[in-house]
Structure 1
Amino acid sequence: MVALSMVLVFLLILSRGESELDAKISSPEKATEWRDPEPSLQGSCQPASSCRECILSHPSCAWCKQLNFTASGLAEERRCARRQELLARGCPPGELEEPRGRLEVLQDQPLGPGTRGEGATQLAPQRLRVTLRPGEPQRLRVSFLRAEGYPVDLYYLMDLSYSMKDDLERVRQLGHALLLRLQEVTHSVRIGFGSFVDKTVLPFVSTVPSKLRHPCPTRLERCQPPFSFHHVLSLTGDAEAFEREVGRQSVSGNLDSPEGGFDAILQAALCQDYPSVGQVAQALSAANIQPIFAVTSATLPVYQELSKLIPKSAVGELSEDSSNVVQLIMDAYNSLSSTVTLEHSPLPPGVHISYESQCGDPEKRESEAGDRGQCNHVRTNQTVNFLVTLQATRCFSEPHLLKLRALGFSEELTVELHTLCDCNCGDTQPQAPHCSDGQGLLQCGVCSCAPGRLGRLCECSEAELSSPDLESGCRAPNGTGPLCSGKGRCHCGRCSCSGQSSGRLCECDDASCERHEGVLCGGFGRCRCGLCHCYANHTGRACECSGDTDSCISPDGNLCSGHGRCECNRCQCSDGHIGALCEQCPGCETSCERYRDCAECGAFGTGPLALNCSRACASANVTLTFAPILDDGWCKGRTLDNQLFFFLVEEEAKDKVVLRVRPQERVDHTQAIVLGCMGGIVAVGLGIVLAYRLSVEIYDRREYRRFEKERQQLNWKQDSNPLYRSAITTTVNPHFQEAGSPLL
């Protein structure tokens, strides 16, 4: 067995106040409300038959409880929509039912170091009440302060197998040295001691009685029988007691069985071992124990991998005689105490949680998201923050308690979770006069009719349903077609439209309008009968165009820098110009490109700057001339009416440019005409070849079909062939004897 020394560091955090997990939360009267800004809501809201069903369908849904809100023929399900849509349809803000989740701080003791580490507050807040609307996230901030001089309990658990014989004497001298080193970082230190050898049952060790009595290699050595675990010394601040109890210990033998077949069979059959790493990790976490594995170099890689499975654990390399164990423990302690890991207790069904860690200095803060919060290298008296997001996907009938804590510390944040799954409209009225003089229950603006009554306002009875007069109100004037256009139900002579249909006979589809970026009417209008009715300052088939032009104004005050037009509050640049404000012109660095538009608008009144020439080209002096072109310094302009003009930049200064524009010349199109004729001849030739090949293919296929048809109509005679003889097979049995034949 390889030498192994394992130390468990237990960081004891003094608790304050109630410690029971199911303790009552402080009374709501003393609570203060803490709200985050309204989260960003995306997605669509579908019609629902009740306010409860509405708010559970999507977090963006609201319900209008105004009486007679759907009097225009819409179904009561259309009371459920996004807030903006309901307001646009005339629902008063006071009649909107839009419950939102909330956070209430019940206890928030400020962070502080306390007195010499005693009574310090390291985790804040301490108690919260969180009400979750399904689908709507709620975010809370948890702060942790690493206090100085917090109490430390160290329990030294040592392997007393035979391979640790040389290390036992070194460990006897550890007590005083460990206490001195730990007292350098905290004022309250206690130390304890325990030991282990082997698990004395098959298949872990040999159970031969003689081996159990004398496990050492020779019987002359003082050696105690193997054992699983012995608790030797309780936590104490007395270093002499530690050294005295360790001095009484003696090693035992190595009885590990090399055959592990039974253990493997058990794992394969039951997926369970004794104990599993998961059980160890769960037990250590529940007891706030942070283990430090001190192992020799031979097993160091194995325990480094094991440490990844056990939260808040550390591994150190132990020298052969354990001489570095004090420094090893101090290094591991510093590493563990500077790592802050925030985790939670088991979540109730349907609740999801995520963490965002904010570590480091405020000006250099970095965030990391994950299923737990963790900050490394936290300095003493440094505060780190964790943003915890809670979201529910279902409702639960009673509150649930959720615990958040930093591993290794006993302080906890208790979160009382509630779900918001119903509306509190405040208008519940049995036998309401609004519901046909007491024929139904009024709740959230909707009548729930008494037995035997029907209709939006419970205005008719079941016996009247088959009346032709009532059905006539749900059909077209000519009496044909399905009731309510097949898109709703006829209740008491009035159509109750389903889905996104509307109109007196549900003839309109309010979900068939144009969409922009996947949103109906671009989110800037309402869909009515297949057409978008845009809100103010928006136009377009899908209300996608904004009437504003502020996004098109360039720094010089021009619209699209004078090189484009503004459409839907976006610049549509002219040829040769790019950029959000058409401010870029690749290749316009030369004078020719820079002043072409000014030359055209100044001389002819045309071009992109024709409407703004005086302001855009204020520094340009344009003169029309008939002078001939003498050199290559003239710039080529655009083609106007099949003619080309040239201009010359004679003088270019910071505030003045002189342009001389030459009369237009006709453009020679001879080359273009020749190339066009040649291309036409080639195209006609290819067309003739393709037509001939197609006609040949059609003719061949027709002849082949005629040949197949005639071949199938022939009647072949089925007479036998006189030259054909069938095969004759003769079989002779040598053992066969005819009757009367002598036997040989």
Structure 2
Amino acid sequence: MNLLFAAVLLLYCRYNAIRTHDHSDHECQSQGVRNCGECLAVGPHCAWCAEENFLEVGQHMWERCDTASALLRRGCPLDRLEDPRGATVLLKNLKVTFHPKEQRHQQQHRQVTQLQPQSVLLHLRPGEPQSFEVKFKRVEDYPIDLYYLMDMSFTMEDDLPSVMKLGADLVEEMKNTTSDFRMGFGAFVDKTVMPYISTAEDKLRNPCKRTEPWPCAPPFTYHHVLSLTANGSLFTELVGEQRISGNLDLPEGGLDALMQAAVCEEQIGWRNVTRLLVFSTDGGFHFAGDGKLGGIVLPNDGKCHLHENVYTQANFQDYPSVTHIAEILRQKNIQIIFAVTKEVSHLYEGLRSIFPKCAVGTLSNNSHNILQIIVDAYNALTSEVVMENSKLPAGYHISYTSHCKDHRPMHGEQGRRCSNISIGDEVSFNVSITAPLCVTASQRPSRVIIKPQGYSEEVEVLLSPICECSCQKDAAPHSPSCSHGNGTLECGACRCKEGRVGTFCECNQAELSEVVDPYLCHRDNVSGVCSGHGECVCGKCVCHKSSKKPNHAYYGQFCECSDFSCDHYQGLQCGGHGRCVCGVCVCLPGFSGQACECPLSLESCLSQDRHVCAGRGDCHCGTCVCHDDRFQGPTCELCPSCPSVCTLHRECILCRAFSLGLNHMECEMRCAHLNLTLLGQANDLATVTPSSGHRCMEVDSEGCRVHFLLRTGQRRVHVHVALERECPSGPDVILITAVLSASVVVLGVALLLLWKLLTNIHDRREFARFQRELEQRRWTRVDNPIYKSAITTVVNPKYKEQ
């Protein structure tokens, strides 16, 4: 009894799951599907019925493939329904570390976990996304490895003392963050060939040409000085022993040193913890292709070439490219801090968009602020988490939704990152992966890695696409159900042997072509096989049937008949007034036409006065055809271009009631059909009973408004006319005259004032000019134009002054 109850409960749960996943009967386009595996590949909402007797004769194999709810409605047993769903299985799910560092020391527990889960298996139905949650917690006392890579060219001489003091100071400062901190040191200059350095013998010994206070070190490419250690005093001691070197050109060989520091994990001593690399310089860098200047054309191989802590391939391999360095840093989970001078900071700022986790700090003149740069950069780098993944298999799609400290979900590229994360904060990312359609019947599981940038911890995701049905494992070769063993019964359907055809493999293809007349399935010489609506099986037509639309079926000897291919009217087959029989409408009583669109009754053609088409047309197929093109409407009552009924009787009413317009004789002849009733005022028209009719208002030849009520009978027109006309009052002559006179007077006065003003201005200007001319007449004797002096002066040209 308990087992029976459990089985019923299991089937009920599965049915509910099917209803939950099944959204619409039209989301499974299964036409052409040949087996259960192909059905699953069509879409995430398709299911397969493996019941052997599910299909009827004439139905296609692909009709076993439909949405789960549709198959259940069509009678497929629930236990014979193949509808596998995707699932998420957590293979390794260690919780993130939450113990404070004091408790962890007491328990001697050094394993720290910041990322959960660690391994996930996804069973993926093609087209159906599967999601899981990834948690990240920035735990307290997480171990840190820091490697300091310094430019030792001559221009960095004043920075070396600050770096010497860095060891003890940095160890002391990092105690606030972690109790497990290690640091190392390396130095670089450039390749030791022309034109990067001088190859003169004395320059190779001492590139600086000095002996005091000490000579410079011979040029080198990269020296690994100190492996990662927790001994800050040793760092200070070894850095203090370093000597500045020199080179010729301004760019340095920093990328060579950066590559070796990243890939030589064993020599450097990198652990699977937070990895920081500080790159300190005051110059730019050579990159891939620059080696040709020194005759070096072999590309950088990205491998470790340290021998006795010296880079040995510097003069044989070119500089690495920037993208090559970025990819190596990503693989090795190294976060880089550029501590550079202000003059070159813009160059390294440009690398932030290329390198995975990168910070840039500006050095002071003698690098005394290097400690603060490292601390600030570490806090900035570790306060942001950016999720990344390895390359997905072809066709797969991944998306992220972040839930950061503000608890607001973010999608797209913003869904990959969370910022402003402090120690102890926990954030989560919802990861959704969708598989493509299955290319083959069976696909091997693939693998993708999800990890936060700059961290060694990762989530391994195994992708297992669901491309097969469970019933395929139970296939029965040579099944008696397939015409005495002529096929394999797989998931309720027969897969015929070569040379056998038919739903149950009942026909021999070779015998069929030789014995059976090929025209047995043709209605005539011009029609197709089974009229194009069926298949010729063993010389007989098997007509198509649709499981989704059972009423859409073909029948007849050659599948020539159907009850859904008749003419439509107003969107309805046979206009909704008949039934379709073998492609022809059989109309109900009272209707006719190919689509039963014509009612035999005249009811739809009657106007308001119960006349057929208002007496102005004929009724054809329930619609009025008007005799006069001016009349319109369903019953020929509308005439937009015709005068109104009020205007039509205006002249007769004016001549009969007011003796205006037509002469007496003409009025008697044309207006005898009017039955006139005279009333006093226009308000009296409202008291006329019955009130139905046309209330009219027309204007007579004197401009007065005439009100009347008009009712049309079968032979005469009844009119009630109000004798009191509304005539407009004449103009007020006195007022108009007074206004015009006043306007003329005011205008005249204004013109006089304007003339007086202009005259006054003109007189003042003339008087001022007169005064100026009068002043000019008062000249001196010298200025008098008619004055001549009485003295004559003569100069002797031959006189020479002694």
Q: CA deviation at 1:351?
A: 2.6
SS at match of 1:425: helix
Q: How does 1:47-58 map to 2 (within 5 A)?
A: 47=31, 48-58=33-43
Match of 2:404 in 1: 359
Q: Does 1:392 align with 2:435?
A: yes
Q: Which of the numbers 365, 375, 389 marks the counterpart of 1:320?
A: 365
Distance 1:43 1:75 in 2: 19
- Whole-Å separation in 2 of the counterparts to 1:464 and 1:166: 99
Measured in 1, the distance between the counterparts of 2:533 and 2:218 equals 86
The answer to whether the 8 Å contact 2:190/2:196 transfers is yes
User: Is the contact made by 1:73 and 1:503 (CA closer than 8 Å) also made in structure 2?
Assistant: no
Alignment of 1:461-540 (within 5 A): 461-466=508-513, 474-476=521-523, 481-495=527-541, 503-504=554-555
1:434 partner amino acid: S
Deviation at 1:290, TM superposition (A): 0.7
Match of 1:306 in 2: 351
Q: Structure 1 length normalisation: TM-score?
A: 0.59
- 1:467 Cα deviation (Å)? 7.1
What is the deviation of 1:463?
4.2
Partner Cα separation in structure 1 for residue 160 and residue 415 of structure 2: 40
Task: State the match for 1:403 in structure 2.
Answer: 449
Tell me which residue corresponds to 2:774.
none
Q: Which amino acid aligns with 2:62?
A: E
Q: Is the aligned partner of 1:164 residue 2:190?
A: no
Rounded to whole Å, the distance in 2 between the matches of 1:357 and 1:264 is 42
**Gap change, CA 1:463 and 1:408, over 3 Å in 2:** closer
Q: Describe the shift of the 1:230–1:261 C-alpha distance in structure 2 as closer, same or farther (beyond 3 A).
A: closer
**Alignment match, 1:294:** 339
The change in CA–CA distance for 1:330 and 1:495 in structure 2 (over 3 A counts) is farther
Report the CA distance between 1:667 and its aligned residue: 4.7
Alpha-carbon offset, residue 332 of structure 1 = 0.5
Match of 1:435 among 460, 482, 493: 482
- Per-residue CA distance 1:437-482 (angstroms, 9 max, x = gap): 2221100121112343321101122244147768677455x89732
Q: Which residue of 1 aligns with 2:635?
A: none
Q: Which residue of 2 aligns with 1:246?
A: 239
User: Which of residues 172, 175, 181 in structure 2 aligns to 1:183?
Assistant: 175
CA distances 1:712-738 after superposition (whole Å, capped 9, x unpaired): xxxxxxxxxxxxxxxxxxxxxxxxxxx
Cα distance, 1:241 vs. partner?
A: 0.7
Alignment of 1:95-244 (within 5 A): 95-114=80-99, 116=101, 118-201=110-193, 204-216=196-208, 218=210, 221-244=214-237
Quote the Cα distance in structure 2 between the aligned partners of 1:462 and 1:76: 19
Q: In 2 relative to 1, CA 265–275 (structure 1 residues): closer, same or farther, beyond 3 Å?
A: closer
1:449 to 496, 504, 512: 496
Match of 2:742? none
In structure 2, which of residues 379, 383, 406 is the aligned counterpart of residue 334 of structure 1? Answer: 379
- 88 and 236 in structure 1: CA distance in 2 versus 1, 3 angstrom threshold: same
Go from structure 1 to structure 2 and tell me whether the alpha carbon gap of 1:277 and 1:666 turns closer, same or farther (over 3 Å shift).
same
CA distance in 2, matches of 1:230, 1:270: 22
Determine the C-alpha separation between the residues in 1 that align with 2:196 and 2:536: 79
Cα offset, 1:71, TM superposition:
1.7
- Structure with more contact order per residue of length (Cα contacts < 8 Å, sep ≥ 6): 1
AA aligned to 1:353 is: I
Residue 455 of structure 2 aligns with an amino acid whose one-letter code is: F
SS of the counterpart of 1:465?
helix
Secondary structure of the 2:399 match is strand
Q: Secondary structure at the match of 2:243?
A: coil
Q: Alpha-carbon deviations, 1:158-182, whole Å to 9, x = none?
A: 1111010001011111111111111
Distance 1:278 1:39 in 2: 47
- Alpha-carbon spacing, 1:143–1:465, altered in 2? closer, same or farther (3 Å): same
Match of 2:29 among 35, 45, 48: 45
Q: Give the match for residue 289 of structure 2.
A: 263
Secondary structure at the residue paired with 2:412? strand
Match of 1:83 in 2: 68
Could you tell me which amino acid in structure 2 is paired with residue 104 of structure 1? V
Contact 1:191 1:235 in 2 (8 A): yes
Aligned to 2:281: none
The answer on whether the counterparts of 2:192 and 2:220 sit within 8 Å (CA) in structure 1 is yes
Number of residues of Structure 1 aligned to a counterpart in Structure 2: 496
Kindly tell me: are residues 371 and 83 of structure 1, through their superposed partners in 2, closer, same or farther at Cα, counting changes over 3 Å?
Answer: farther
1:458 aligns with 2:505: yes
Sequence identity, in percent?
41
| CA distances 1:323-356 after superposition (whole Å, capped 9, x unpaired) | 1111111000101111112222233333332222
Pair 142,334 (structure 1): closer, same or farther in 2 beyond 3 Å: same
The letter for the 1-side match of 2:39 is C
SS across alignment from 2:378 = helix
Distance 1:89 1:509 in 2: 22
In structure 2, the CA distance between the partners of 1:432 and 1:467, relative to structure 1 (3 Å rule), is same
8 Å Cα contact 1:122/1:147 also seen in 2: yes
Contact 1:192 1:233 in 2 (8 A): yes
Task: Return the alpha-carbon distance in structure 2 between the equivalents of residues 166 and 199 of structure 1.
Answer: 23
Superposed CA offset, 1:101-132 (max 9, x none): 22111121222324517323211111111122
Q: What CA deviation, in whole Å up to 9, does each residue of 1:508-558 have, x standing for no partner?
A: 9999999xxxxxxxxxxxxxx99xxxxxxxxxxxxxxxxxxxxxxxxxxxx
Matched with 1:375 is 418
Change in 2 beyond 3 A, CA 1:313/1:502: farther
For residues 706-721 of structure 1, the aligned pairs below 5 Å read none
The secondary structure found in structure 2 opposite 1:49 is: coil
Cα distance, 1:377 vs. partner?
Answer: 0.9
Change (3 A) 1:404 1:510: farther
Structure 2 vs 1, CA of residues 44 and 87 (structure 1 numbering), >3 Å: closer, same or farther?
Answer: same
Q: Larger % of helix: which?
A: 2
Between the aligned partners of 1:414 and 1:123, the Cα distance in structure 2 is: 11
Q: CA deviation at 1:188?
A: 1.4
Distance in 1, matches of 2:566 and 2:384, equals 56
- Which has more radius of gyration? 2
Please tell me the residue identity of whatever aligns with 2:224: H
Distance 2:98 2:245 in 1: 46
The offset of 1:250, in angstroms, is: 0.7
Question: Is the Cα–Cα contact under 8 Å of residues 338 and 361 in structure 2 kept in the other structure?
Answer: yes
Q: 1:389 to 1:93 in 2, by over 3 A?
A: same
Spell out, residue by residue over 1:599-651, the C-alpha distance to the aligned partner (whole angstroms, 9 max, x if none): xxxxxxxxxxxxxxxxxxxxxxxxxxxxx999xxxxxxxxxxxx999xxxxxx
Which amino acid in structure 2 is aligned with residue 345 of structure 1? S
Task: Go from structure 1 to structure 2 and tell me whether the alpha carbon gap of 1:670 and 1:95 turns closer, same or farther (over 3 Å shift).
Answer: farther
Alignment partner of 1:180: what SS? Answer: helix
Q: Equivalents in 1 of 2:566, 2:114: separation in Å?
A: 57
RMSD, aligned CA:
4.1
* 1:273-325 Cα shifts (integer Å, max 9, x gaps): 72111211121122221110001111111111112211111111111111111
Q: Select 2:47's aligned residue among 42, 55, 62.
A: 62
Give the letter aligned to residue 78 of structure 2: P
Structure 1 alignment gaps of length 5 or more? 1-34, 515-528, 531-627, 631-642, 646-661, 672-744
| Alignment partners' CA distance in 1, 2:370 and 2:682 | 96
Report how far residue 384 of structure 1 moved: 0.9
Aligned partners of 2:564, 2:172: CA distance in 1, in Å? 77
